[in-house]
Amino acid sequence: MAEVFHNQQLASSNEKKLNIALVGNPNCGKTTLFNALTGLRQKVANYPGVTVERKFGDFADSEGTKFRLIDLPGLYSIASRSLDEKIASDIITGSSPHEPPLDLIIVAADATNLGRGLFLCSQIDELGIPIILVLNMMDVAEKEGIKIDVQALSENLQIPIIPAVAKKEIGIPELRQAITTIKNQKKNPQKTGFLFSNIEKNGVVKPIISWFGNAHKMSAKVALIEALKVISDDKSLQRWTANSGDHELNGLVQKARESFSKNTIPWEQVEIQARYDAIDKIINKVVIHRPNPEPSLNDKIDRFLTHKILGPIIMFLVLSAIFQAVYSWAEAPMELIENSIASTGEVVRHYLPAGMLRDLLVDGVISGVGAVLVFLPQIMLLFLFVSILEDSGYLSRVAFILDRAMARIGLSGQSVIPLLSSFACAIPGIMAARTIHNTRDRLITILVAPFMSCSARLPVYTLMIGAFIPNIWFGGFFYLPALTLLGMYFLGIVISILSASLLGKFVIKGQSSNFIMELPPYRIPVWRFIFLRVYEAGSAFVKNAGKIILAISIILWFLATFPRTDSANNSNNIDQTYAGQLGHFIEPAIQPLGFDWKIGVGLITSFAAREVMVSTLGTLYNIQDADETSIGLRDAMKKDKNDITGKPVFTHLTALSLMVFFVLACQCMSTLAIIRRETNTWRWPLALFIYMLILAYSASFVLYQTGLFLGFT
């Protein structure tokens, strides 16, 4: 049971790709470093059997050697507590069945917080794998009065160290050269590693070191490392004593723990304290701090942005401006896409002979897929602003501000980031909940994450707002369509908070865990990486949602076309098709919400993906276009009349009712499947689906019926 060593010779340049792992603490600029090395040559997937993101990319050095770089989840220690930390730890130690052994590890460290980066580096150094330490954000360190003697640090640690500013690609050429140098070494250099001050001379530690040396023929250094681990960690002790016939080690460890406890040193922190004692000695040799530095710019900005009163106000104004921009800036590209789709349909109509194939392409594929593609500008704009907030450091401040609200409902701040992630999609938000150590908090976070308005709801919101909310200014400051969009997002937040409070008090009882939140320094976003992220989000939406929408559009076209009658081409007979029959079947149940049978069909199909609601309406309304002229979906909805009453099918009240329904209903089978995987039971996803459906129906019913009672039509 010795620790894992990989002191093998690195593969030569003519063999398969060399495997490199990029590791580091959260907020150390690791992702920026990854993007600088790989550019657009990267892929994102999940590790088999789990929902932790797996990001890797390829690059080559000047000699043509190809490397495969794995961007591991951020972690502070290889002693894992959460699933994403365990994935990273298993890959680093060579225990993962999903990744080959590593040839090299790049450790990214924040130069402004060198001690914490060196703590992780000290653990990785013990594995025997070649490592390169990258001191990122050197420019920020200099501004804060921190001067690091990189050469002296490298000599102390006996590893190559690269000073870098990844966002400006400073240090990247040197990093590539260091990788090539290590690749060409015939054998790994002998490293002295991190020395743990004088703890090996401690009277209760020394017998444990001797036990490892005698029983398992370990060197003094390796025996010291294992001794500190078994003293500080029960799991490490159990691994060594589980198959052992004698209990000598267990007795030595218990004696050591009692001794440390008597000296007011918690035995759980013995290894941590020993590492930091050694690290502090190194830092004192190589780091110079400017005496009495003035309050940093970060501190000055935080006085306003995280202020108890000003902070929430500024946050509200920032989010309001974002939603206003998402709506107004996207109008021009939306109109361009809409016109292009209409023109494409006309071209196909012109060149293809009349028949079923032409109807399928124009009324099914082009209309269905195009109706969703028209909302791509809003989705990309939303990701643009979220990426800017994240890279600038402000998103963490939003989490800090909302942490106070989380505490009031019995959750810790660890729930904030998963919930914020759910604004893009509930699935990564639920995945992010794996980092929450408290089981109660994690389960509650998973169950309320679907209330956050994800990007899949955005096409429905913008369709209804664009068609039925007047373009007027409210209060002389807020644009009414933007205010309505913002209101839908805040409705989801409020309901999620109330639901979390109810779950914590009556369903999933227990004590919430404490939470320490790290606020990264403010940074100017790197636009190249911002646009790369937006491009990835947009292409993922088109590829992933596009497949579902294409399939649903074809199925819908079939349902809305057959069975054919003698007058099947008459638009009035669409209610005789399978789609019409299905819609009319559920229409009595949804009429009190202001919905007709077409919306009913959309509600059913949108369970595959929420944005399919838009393509469903696009397909249904295009099929009803008897004179075969292409008109926009919004115009078609405005002109649609009830066959019996002659009144408009869609009104302002109907649009609001439908949006509220989509805010509160769990119209996403993928989300339910992920919840099933995360909770390992169908009990919670089914209960959540029923709860959200009842909540959505009740809210839409009250809104619509109250509106009718007050005379709003």
| Average of per-residue pLDDT across 385-393 | 84
Question: Residue 151, SS3?
Answer: helix
Q: Residue 180 — very low, low, confident or very high, per pLDDT cuts 50/70/90?
A: very high
Residue 327 has pLDDT above 70, yes or no: no
The predicted model gives 2-12 an average pLDDT of 36
H/E stretch holding 489 reads helix 480-502
Give me the DSSP letters along 35-102.
Answer: HHHHTT-EEEEE-TTS--EEEEEEEE-TT--EEEEEEPPP-S-SS--SHHHHHHHHHHHT--TTSPPP
Q: Using the predicted structure, report yes or no on whether residue 627 has a pLDDT greater than 80.
A: no
- Non-local (6+) Cβ contacts of 376 within 8 A are 337, 538, 541, 542
pLDDT attached to residue 174: 94
User: In terms of pLDDT, which residue wins out, 220 or 65?
Assistant: 65
Identify whether the C-beta of residue 503 lies closer than 8 Å to the C-beta of residue 345. Answer: no
Give all domains of the chain, ordered by start, each with its CATH number.
18-184 (3.40.50.300), 199-275 (no CATH), 330-374+527-649 (no CATH)
CB 366 within 8 A of CB 357: no
Query: What confidence tier does 624 reach under pLDDT thresholds 50, 70, 90?
Result: very low
Q: What is the DSSP letter of 134?
A: E
Question: Which range has the worst mean pLDDT, 383-397, 579-593, 696-710?
Answer: 383-397
692 CB contacts (<8 Å, ≥6 apart)? 450, 451, 664, 665, 666
CA distance 681 to 675: 8
Mean pLDDT of 413-440: 73
Distance (Å, rounded) from C-alpha 8 to C-alpha 94?
Answer: 13
Query: Which tokens go with 410?
Result: 């019995």
Side-chain half-sphere exposure of 402, counting CA atoms within 13 A: 22
602 within 8 A of 613, measured Cβ to Cβ? yes
Rounded Cα gap, residues 545 and 366, in angstroms: 15
666 pLDDT higher than 60: yes
Out of 65-74, 91-100, 217-226, 567-576, the most confident range is 65-74
Q: What percent helix, strand, coil does the chain show, rounded to 5?
A: 60, 10, 30
- Which of 65-79, 515-529, 654-668 reaches the highest mean pLDDT? 654-668
87 near 72, Cβ under 8 Å? Answer: yes
Residue type, 688: L
Place of tokens 């794995």: 70
Residue 24 has pLDDT above 60, yes or no: yes
Q: Provide CB contacts within 8 A for 392, sequence distance 6+.
A: 522, 523, 524, 525
CA dihedral 484, 490, 492, 497 (to 10 degrees): -160
pLDDT at 89 over 50: yes
**More reliable by pLDDT, 287 or 561:** 287
- 387 pLDDT higher than 80: yes
Instruction: Enumerate residues 6+ apart whose C-beta is below 8 A from 125.
Output: 131, 157, 159, 191, 193, 194
Lowest mean pLDDT among 190-204, 262-276, 337-351, 659-673: 190-204
Residues 6+ apart with CB under 8 A from 407: 413, 512
Q: Is the pLDDT of residue 118 over 90?
A: yes
pLDDT at residue 428 in the model: 65
Residue-by-residue DSSP string for 319-370: HHHHHHHHHHHTHHHHHHHHHHHHHHHHHHHHHSPSSHHHHIIIIIIIHHHH
Contacts (Cβ under 8 Å, ≥6 apart) of 234: none
* Identity of the highest mean pLDDT range in 187-201, 502-516, 527-541, 692-706: 692-706
Give residue 618's pLDDT.
Answer: 78
Mean pLDDT over each residue of the chain, to the nearest integer? 79
Q: Which percentage of the chain shows pLDDT scores above 70?
A: 82
546-561 and 612-623 helices, crossing angle to 10°: 30
pLDDT (average), residues 299-317: 88
pLDDT band at 706 (very low <50, low <70, confident <90, very high): very high
Q: Quote the pLDDT of residue 84.
A: 67
Residues 183 and 466: their CA atoms lie apart, in Å, by 58
Confidence of residue 435 (pLDDT cuts 50, 70, 90): low
0.75 surpassed by pTM: no
Q: Stretch 575-584: mean pLDDT, rounded?
A: 80
pLDDT band at 291 (very low <50, low <70, confident <90, very high): low
pLDDT at 167 over 90: no
Of the two residues 355 and 447, the one the predictor is more confident about is 447
Of the listed ranges 19-23, 58-62, 65-69, 510-514, the least confidently predicted one is: 510-514
- 369 against 158, higher pLDDT: 158
Is the separation of the CB atoms in 91 and 22 below 8 Å?
A: no
Strand 131-136: give its sheet, edge to edge.
42-46, 53-60, 66-71, 18-24, 104-110, 131-136, 161-163
Q: What is the pLDDT of residues 45-70, one digit of tens each?
A: 443 334 355 678 888 888 888 999 98
